[in-house]
Structures are given as C-alpha cells and as structure tokens.
Structure 1
Amino acid sequence: MSFAPDLFVGKTVVVVGGTSGIGAAAAMAFAGLGADLHVAGLNASDPRAPAGISVTVTELDVRDAAALASFLDPLPRIDVLVNCAGVSRDRDEWNSEAFANVMAINFFPVMEASLLARPKMGKGAAIINIASMYATFGAADRPAYASSKGAIVQLTKSLAQEYAPDVRVNAVAPGWIVTPLSHGLFSDETASAPIMARIPFGRWGEAREIADAIVYLASPAAGYITGAVLPVDGGYLTV
C-alpha cells in the first residue's frame, strides 16, 4: 500500500476512459482509497471494467460531446478528474480520416471534460491528463497518436495557468506499459527486444505503476505542483 487507505474518502473522482488499461487501474486505485468513483468509457459491461460498491460505470463514446455532458452534469461536485481515453491506429493514421478520429478520441474530449468539470471543482481539486513519451519525440508509425499527446501536454500547461490557484492540472507521460492497447507489441519478442534494451529498468511498466503516479498528482502531497508532465517510463527518455 503506497497511500493512506482513506486518502480519498469523501472525494468524488471521475475517470473518463476508465474501463480498461491505465484508466481502469487508476479507477480501482482511487476506489481502493475510499473515493466515490464515476467511470466512463467503452465496454462498460466488460467483466474487467472497474466495479465495487462505490463505483458507477457508464458506457460512453467520448467523441459524443452531448453524452459526455450528460455523464458529468448530474455530479454536484468533482474533486479529481482523470482524462484517460486513448487509441492508436498505427500507420493508418497517415490517412486523414483516421488521423481526425484519433484526435477526436485522444485530444478534444480532454478539453471538453475539463471545461465541463471546472464549475464543479473547488479549491484543492485536480485534473490529471494522460500524455505519453510520444509527446517528446513523435513517431513515424503513429503520427496522430503522437500529435494528440503533444497537444495534451500543451493543453495541460494552458489549463494549469487558467485554473490556478484553485485547481491543479498535471499530466502523466507513460512509457512502454503493458495494456490492451500495447499487448500485441509486448508479446512480439522480436519487435519488443530493442525497446526492452533501451529501458534502464529492463522491463515494461505495469498499469498500476501509472495509476500510482496519477494518485500522487491528485493527492495533497502534490499540492504545489501544476502544469507538470511526469514521465513514468523506467528511464526510457534518459537514454
């Protein structure tokens, strides 16, 4: 246990894109710390989606702005918002339609959810966005994904300035993390070998390790941190 078990008791936490992968790990971390948790994303009825007495899960396509508003509007208060919806179409992203679709999932809902949540957030609230190592160096094989994550970094910094000092806005930039999105590459030993060789920790990360960073940035321990992008990559970007 990395945190006090009652750290988020009495707090309302929202995770958009929280039905699988990093989002689900973050959601369950908050639930385990006592939060009143509201999760939205695709495949909400999947047995692997977050569940629990204090957890509500809503089926949501984040591209639907009206549905996103309907999800957030009933909540009287939001203490923590985690924006975690994401997708990659790899080399298909060089197609303009696929590029636009990735941006519509990865980037625009971050702005929309942040705008909708802000009136419900009081002093000490926090927004945590999920960026990526690809925000740093780009990628020929996934240009939309890299662009969306770079945009999230700049939006995070802009929101941090606009919402200060009451609401802190930060981002986590995961490296190579084992999730449903990356499992195919992780399982391909030939393709994964050069990645592993560059990671000083010598292994891919786990979703729970990103969840820990998200919880930290949402906690009072990060009370003077805003506009920051925290790499959680086992040292990948240091090489």
Structure 2
Amino acid sequence: MAITIDLVGRVVLVTGGRGGVGGGIVQAFRAAGAEVETAGRSASEPGDDGARHGAVHYSVVDVREPDSVGAWIADVLARRGRIDVVVNNAGGGPYADFAAASPRLYERVTALNFLGPAYVAHAAHAALDDACGVLLNITSISARRSSPGTAVYGAAKAALESLTTSLAVEWAPRIRVNAVSAGLVATPGAVGHYGDAEQTARVAATIPRGVFASPREIGDACVLLASPFASHITGAVLAVDGGGEWPAFLAHTPNARTDGGSRGA
C-alpha cells in the first residue's frame, strides 16, 4: 500500500525559500499540495514583493527585523486566514577567523541564524496555536560539532536547537516544534565552498552515505515532520546528514573501511 502525505489546504511559511535548501523545502511542500508563502531579504526580480510565482507567494521580509516579520505574518493571515506550518530556514554566514572577525559580524550572524527564527516563531505563535500547527527550525551539523571558521554560526544553530526543545514543552500540546539538522547539502553555494568536482567528491566520501543531501531531501524531511505521521514527535532534532561523518581515526586504522562506503542514491 502506498503511503502519501496530503497537505492540501494547509498554509506553509518558509523563510529563505527562493533557492538552495529553502527551494527544496518549498518544492516538497508544494508536491504535498500545500499553499506556500516564502520570503527573502530582497527582491531578486522586478515586482517581487507580494508576487506570486506559480502557487508560491513571495514577499520581501528581513527576519532580523521584528517589525518586518510581524507585518509579513499579519499580511499572510489577512490573505490566507490561517497558518499551519512555519519553517525557519533563512540562515548562513561567511567563513571568518573568529579572532579576526568583528563584533558586528558576530551580531549579524547571530541575528540571522537565531534571533530571526525566534522573531518568526513569536509572531506566528497565535496563528499556529489556532491551527494546532507545526514549527520547524532548520539547523546544522555545525550545532553539534566543532565549526572552525564559522564558530558563531555553529553557536547560533546550537542555540536554535535549544530554543526548539524549550518551545516544544512551552507550546505543547497544541503546537509541535521540531528541528531538522542538515548535513552537507548540494547547493550552488556548496560547489564554490568545497572546490572543484574532484575536491567536492573527496568531501562527499567523508559522509557514510557517500553523497551530499539534495535540497529536496531536506524538504521531504520537513514534510514528514509536518504531517500526521509525525503526530507524536515534538522537541526532536532530526539529523538529515547521510550518517554524519566517518570518524577521523579510521583513516589511520589498518583494514578500516574509509572509502566512503556505497555511492548509491
């Protein structure tokens, strides 16, 4: 028997949903039949603010500004009448040596990766409570392992995972709150970050599954957690990382299997 997830009639908000991981999340919810509202900091096309692209409505919102977030939530409620799922996906940060970076950079990275999701959650709370809805926070493996060069980003994602588990208790039983911890994902930005195709393949070989996740695979995990199949899951941090990373010591252990394992999809 085939199992399908039907989210027809549900209104889903995705921050940072124009492309990359956010684009995969938007695709997955649309495939499940949901109506999607997404937002980004700037208009990438003329007239983007308040624009409809297919069945996805795009708004210009700076999640680092509470007033901008509040206006967005109010606008969605005025047009849609409800909000069922919120996905806090917007995030990121540049590579920067901690000792050389400025305090201003620390503030910007923390605002985007922690305060922004907190502002969105706060503004959407009443609507989610009315709908017995779902809040999903996209975090990173950087939250749970050392993150040299992106130390403040990793710390902010760790804080977001802590917020996830706390809100799951505060907002139970009407709102479920979970996080998706993404491993390495095959986005356009990843190609430049890890180097050419050969170098990227070497990085992929450090993942037990042997490949980067696709943005859609992150999106599919979000759809699962937003669906009735996850009705008793709250306060969880779901790792979508292909098994994490091969332990470094295995590279120096005789006969250890360190080739990255199967390359199957």
Both structures adopt the same fold (TM-score exceeding 0.5):
yes
Q: Give aligned-pair identity as a percent.
A: 37
Q: CA deviation at 1:51?
A: 6.1
RMSD of aligned alpha carbons: 2.3
Q: 1:48-75: CA deviations, max 9, x gaps? A: x996443210112222221111111131
Higher CA-based Rg: 2
Distance 1:78 1:127 in 2: 10
Equivalent residue in structure 2 for 1:100, among 102, 107, 111? 107
Contact 1:124 1:223 in 2 (8 A): no
Match of 2:185 in 1: 177
Q: CA deviation at 1:208?
A: 0.6
Match of 1:136 in 2: 144
Match of 2:135 in 1: 127
Q: CA deviation at 1:123?
A: 5.1
Match of 1:81, SS state, is strand
Contact 1:178 1:186 in 2 (8 A): no
2:174 aligned with 1:166, yes or no?
yes
Match of 2:116 in 1: 109
Match of 2:82 in 1: 77
Match of 2:253 in 1: none
Q: CA deviation at 1:183?
A: 2.6
Match of 1:58 in 2: 59
Match of 2:148, SS state, is coil
Contact 2:27 2:216 in 1 (8 A): no
Q: Which stretch of structure 1 is more off in the superposition, 31-40 or 155-164? A: 31-40
Distance 1:220 1:65 in 2: 31
Distance 1:188 1:232 in 2: 24
Q: Which runs of 5+ in 2 are unaligned?
A: 248-265
2:216 aligned with 1:215, yes or no?
no
Equivalent residue in structure 2 for 1:157, among 165, 171, 184? 165
Match of 1:87 in 2: 92
Q: Which runs of 5+ in 1 are unaligned?
A: none
Match of 1:30 in 2: 29
Contact 2:121 2:135 in 1 (8 A): yes
Q: 1:72-110: CA deviations, max 9, x gaps? A: 113132100000001211115532111110111111011
Q: 1:135-190: CA deviations, max 9, x gaps? A: 11131211111011101100000110111111100000011101244231244356
Q: Could you state the TM-score of these two structures normalised by the residue count of structure 1?
A: 0.90
2:74 aligned with 1:67, yes or no?
no
Q: What is the aligned length?
A: 236
Mark the CA change 1:97 to 1:180 in structure 2 (over 3 Å): closer, same or farther.
Answer: farther
Match of 2:16 in 1: 17
Match of 1:236, SS state, is coil
Mark the CA change 1:110 to 1:143 in structure 2 (over 3 Å): closer, same or farther.
Answer: same
Contact 1:185 1:191 in 2 (8 A): no
Mark the CA change 1:92 to 1:62 in structure 2 (over 3 Å): closer, same or farther.
Answer: farther
Mark the CA change 1:157 to 1:53 in structure 2 (over 3 Å): closer, same or farther.
Answer: same
Contact 2:176 2:233 in 1 (8 A): yes
Q: CA deviation at 1:230?
A: 0.6
Q: Could you state the TM-score of these two structures normalised by the residue count of structure 2?
A: 0.82
Match of 1:4 in 2: 4
Mark the CA change 1:137 to 1:99 in structure 2 (over 3 Å): closer, same or farther.
Answer: same
Contact 1:10 1:35 in 2 (8 A): yes
Distance 2:39 2:87 in 1: 11
Runs of 4+ in 1 over 2 A off after TM superposition: 2-5, 42-47, 49-54, 92-95, 180-183, 185-197
Q: CA deviation at 1:16?
A: 1.3
Q: CA deviation at 1:9?
A: 0.8
2:242 aligned with 1:231, yes or no?
no
Mark the CA change 1:108 to 1:25 in structure 2 (over 3 Å): closer, same or farther.
Answer: same
Mark the CA change 1:42 to 1:157 in structure 2 (over 3 Å): closer, same or farther.
Answer: same
